[in-house]
């Protein structure tokens, strides 16, 4: 029996961190700073070749210098084993006062200190000193001291290898050992007081609140008891209505809250009592506590490379819970997102997890539930009104909703609403309430907010590609994803479930009936129909790429977007179409740091009246990179995939080295020096840390880990030495020419 594969990618490459790894030099901070070396301060042999203190004192009285002492074998001939005896707090203060000249608790290339600090060597019991030089080593020292202080260390024995570590290895290690943990959440008694608080709760009485679906009575009982046992946290436990409508969601905005996600039964080993525990998931950035949609898929690509399979599996199960109880994978699990989904990636995510666990008990049932959930989502969300365009047969981002999106900051829509407020002669609050509840009608505003909600559902918020039109667009990204659903479901039913999948009652939607048997044939037909429609409405032969199609105007759009490469990821393109995209589309979208979100020409002129949007030129985002690499690899454009991955990884590594370990949400891929400086719209998550970065950013972490599987071994070594792509290529060409000359 053959197993359906997820979207193909390059084979994983074995990684080695060198023999020093065996001695714990590169352990995670919790392990490293708990080591007994920091308690007993024993770090090597005695360093004096003579031990009579009286002789030393006699020499001092006579004004003689101490005899020259040959350095120990450890210090002189094995640089990896050099260690430093460091007083944490004084060294940290000295480092900051001398090197952090702009006072932001980071040491970067923009600080103008001397960029050198002397540390005492441990092998000499602090007698000898060694200079730590350069931005990278000093910023690593700042990070290590910050971690040591966090773990309660007053004095440490610090390995030099942690300061001059290959930056590719260091960032990979930070992601695996620290960043994922910093971004992992679970919703239960351990976290509910914080997680159920909403920073976007603008009401007069913000408090922790959780909404429980009707189909999870065990959770309602669990949280109700928790609220009774801990009245001081003021937890408000609400039961959701059986049927969720836009009007109900609007009325819930007066009491916004967290939505429950999946929980598992656990047994207390001491009492033997059974309780519930939240299934863990990874959030996009450190300030979030709710489960997000397509961020989770992108994160799973890195989690699986890092062997965190259980965490990726848990996220799939949380998605299945959302589809079962809320009808869709939500933008995020807050009450005001109940009408809004996000780009659908469930089948590929589930198949990638299944490929890792298929020999484990319960793996088949896991995949069965995930495919059933995807079938339900496919029919009830994407192939139903209002998202389905019946004329083309293609789908659109078009969520339902009433009134003004409540999750934005108070003044976000003032410039849009003010003319209507003045026209009605009302106060702003009076107008907002009357409009939200249908007491007054403003069709133009209805249209504006319909498109605004669609942009948010698309995940690409915001871009001039979508402004004022998104709900009318059959996009190449969404329809590529749905083609992937159709082909994944067909292959899985055929190859894993022997071409027979029974639909239980709880997964029935639309025309599906309990006990109905699904076969691969109908899903094959659906994928073929969608490919024909994509070719007819979205493919542009002249331009050699896919464009969105406006279902209201019945015409193709002209915005050049990196989402054209999603068709390669999904396998919807023919080899001829793929070659055309590489020839014509790629040159318009490639920059020094990887793929642009869109072309500069498509974005148009910007200024005070037309500010830049974060999903437009000149910005690049991790999802666009990862899907393009995988798609190019799928169609055997290996060189292009490696080149784009190298550029993206180089940009991240360079910023990581130059700016104190920074890893952020998005990058300006046209800036070679400080690409993390992005000032469009919502700022840049991941910048706000003191001393040491704790989480990075979810899908950028994943893109780094995943991208290292794309590039070859030569490229990985070049990345570790911060070699720009052009320099790397020239070196390769010189080596090849030299080899050819030797053959003559």
Q: Which residues participate in catalysis according to the annotation?
A: 461, 665
In angstroms, rounded to a whole number, what is the distance separating the alpha carbons of residues 731 and 422?
A: 66
Cα maximum dimension of the chain: 102
In angstroms, rounded to a whole number, what is the distance separating the alpha carbons of residues 520 and 77?
A: 65
- β-bridge pairing 83-87 and 155-159: antiparallel
Cα–Cα separations (whole angstroms), residue 201 to 61, 244, 335, 462, 484: 73, 21, 11, 22, 37
Task: Say if CB 593 and CB 562 are below 8 A apart.
Answer: no
Q: Can you point out the beta strands (E) in 542-621?
A: 545-546, 549-550, 555-556, 590-591, 594-595, 619-620
Task: Say if CB 348 and CB 370 are below 8 A apart.
Answer: no
| Run of H or E including 354 | helix 346-357
Concatenating the DSSP letter of every residue in 131-152 gives EEEHHHHHHHHHHHHHHHHHTT
Q: Can you point out the beta strands (E) in 182-242?
A: 184-185, 209-212, 236-239
Strand-pair partners of 282: 184
Cα–Cα separations (whole angstroms), residue 333 to 457, 459, 573, 627: 13, 15, 34, 25
In angstroms, rounded to a whole number, what is the distance separating the alpha carbons of residues 45 and 538?
A: 71
Task: Say if CB 547 and CB 556 are below 8 A apart.
Answer: yes
Task: Say if CB 153 and CB 90 are below 8 A apart.
Answer: no
Task: Say if CB 326 and CB 338 are below 8 A apart.
Answer: yes
What's the angle, vertex CA 663, arms to CA 660 and CA 664, rounded to 5? 125
In angstroms, rounded to a whole number, what is the distance separating the alpha carbons of residues 188 and 277?
A: 6
Three-state DSSP class for residue 256: coil
In angstroms, rounded to a whole number, what is the distance separating the alpha carbons of residues 420 and 416?
A: 8
**What distance lies between CA 390 and its chain's CA centroid?**
34
The number of beta carbons lying within 10 Å of the beta carbon of residue 425 is 8
Three-state DSSP class for residue 450: helix
The number of beta carbons lying within 10 Å of the beta carbon of residue 554 is 10
Over 75-108, what HEC string results? HHHCHHHCEEEEEHHHHHHHHHHHHCCCCCCCCE
Helices (H), 1-87: 29-32, 37-40, 53-61, 73-77
Task: Say if CB 314 and CB 180 are below 8 A apart.
Answer: no
Task: Say if CB 281 and CB 315 are below 8 A apart.
Answer: yes
The number of beta carbons lying within 10 Å of the beta carbon of residue 298 is 28
In angstroms, rounded to a whole number, what is the distance separating the alpha carbons of residues 720 and 711?
A: 13
In angstroms, rounded to a whole number, what is the distance separating the alpha carbons of residues 656 and 704?
A: 12
Cis peptide before 462 (omega within 30 of 0): yes
Name the phi and psi angles at 276, rounded to 5. -110, 145
């Amino acid at each position: 029996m053959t197993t359906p594969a997820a979207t193909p990618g390059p084979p994983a490459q074995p990684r080695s961190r060198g023999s020093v790894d065996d001695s714990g030099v590169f352990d995670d901070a919790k392990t490293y700073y708990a080591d007994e070396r920091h308690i007993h301060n024993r770090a090597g042999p005695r360093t004096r070749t003579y031990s009579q203190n009286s002789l030393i004192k006699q020499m001092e009285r006579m004004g003689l210098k101490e005899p020259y002492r040959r350095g120990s074998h450890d210090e002189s001939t094995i640089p990896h084993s050099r260690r430093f005896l460091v007083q944490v707090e004084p060294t940290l203060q000295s480092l900051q006062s001398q090197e952090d000249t702009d006072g932001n608790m980071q040491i970067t290339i923009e600080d103008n200190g001397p960029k050198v600090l002397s540390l005492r060597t441990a092998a000499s019991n602090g007698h000898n000193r060694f200079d730590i030089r350069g931005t990278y080593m000093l910023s690593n020292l700042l990070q290590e001291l910050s971690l040591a202080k966090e773990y309660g260390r007053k004095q440490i024995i610090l390995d030099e290898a942690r300061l001059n570590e290959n930056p590719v290895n260091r960032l990979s290690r930070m992601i695996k050992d620290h960043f994922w943990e910093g971004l992992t959440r679970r919703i239960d008694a351990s976290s509910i007081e914080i997680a159920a608080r909403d920073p976007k709760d603008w009401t007069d009485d913000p408090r922790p609140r959780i909404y429980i679906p009707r189909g999870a009575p065990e959770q309602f009982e669990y949280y109700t008891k928790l609220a009774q046992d801990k009245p001081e946290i003021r937890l408000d436990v609400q039961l959701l209505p059986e049927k969720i409508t836009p009007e109900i969601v609007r009325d819930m905005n007066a009491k916004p809250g967290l939505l429950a996600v999946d929980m598992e039964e656990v047994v207390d080993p001491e009492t033997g009592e059974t309780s519930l525990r939240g299934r863990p998931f990874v959030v996009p950035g450190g300030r979030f506590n709710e489960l997000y949609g397509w961020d989770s898929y992108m994160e799973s690509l890195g989690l699986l490379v890092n062997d965190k399979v259980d965490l990726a599996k848990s996220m799939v199960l949380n998605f299945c819970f959302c589809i079962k109880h809320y009808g869709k994978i939500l933008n995020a699990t807050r009450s005001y997102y109940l009408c809004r989904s996000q780009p659908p990636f469930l089948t590929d995510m589930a198949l990638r997890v299944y490929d890792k666990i298929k020999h484990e008990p319960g793996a088949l049932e896991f995949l069965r539930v995930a495919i059933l959930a995807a079938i339900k989502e496919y029919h009830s969300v994407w192939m139903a009104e209002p998202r389905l365009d019946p004329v083309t047969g293609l789908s659109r981002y078009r969520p339902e909703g009433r009134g003004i999106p409540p999750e934005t900051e108070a003044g976000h829509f003032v410039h849009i609403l003010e003319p209507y407020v003045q026209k009605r002669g009302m106060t702003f609050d009076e107008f907002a309430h009357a409009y939200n509840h249908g007491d007054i009608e403003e069709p133009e505003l209805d249209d504006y907010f319909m498109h605004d909600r669609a942009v948010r559902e698309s995940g690409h918020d915001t871009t001039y590609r979508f402004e004022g039109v998104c709900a009318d667009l059959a996009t190449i990204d969404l329809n590529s994803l749905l083609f992937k659903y159709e082909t994944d479901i067909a292959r899985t039913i055929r190859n894993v479930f022997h071409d027979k999948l029974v639909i239980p009652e709880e997964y029935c939607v639309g025309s599906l009936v309990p006990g109905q048997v699904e076969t691969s044939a109908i899903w094959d037909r659906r994928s073929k129909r969608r490919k024909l429609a994509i070719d007819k409405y979205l493919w542009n032969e002249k331009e050699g790429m896919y464009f969105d199609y406006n279902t209201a105007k019945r015409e193709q759009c002209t915005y050049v977007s990196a989402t054209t490469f999603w068709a390669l990821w999904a396998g919807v393109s023919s080899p001829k179409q793929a070659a055309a995209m590489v020839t014509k589309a790629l040159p318009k979208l490639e920059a020094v740091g990887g793929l642009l979100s869109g072309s500069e020409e498509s974005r148009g002129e910007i200024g005070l009246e037309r500010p830049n949007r974060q999903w437009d030129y000149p910005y690049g985002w991790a999802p666009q990179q990862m899907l393009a690499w995988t798609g190019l690899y799928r169609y055997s454009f290996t060189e292009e995939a490696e080149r784009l991955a190298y550029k993206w990884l180089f940009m991240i590594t360079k910023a990581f080295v130059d700016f104190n370990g920074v890893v952020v949400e998005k990058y300006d891929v046209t800036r070679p020096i400080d690409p993390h400086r992005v000032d469009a719209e919502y700022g840049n998550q991941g910048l706000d840390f003191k001393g040491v970065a704790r989480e990075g950013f979810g899908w950028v972490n994943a893109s780094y880990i995943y991208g290292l599987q794309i590039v070859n071994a030569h490229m990985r070594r070049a990345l570790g030495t911060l070699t720009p792509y052009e320099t790397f290529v020239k070196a390769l060409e010189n080596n090849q020419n030299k080899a050819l000359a030797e053959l003559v």
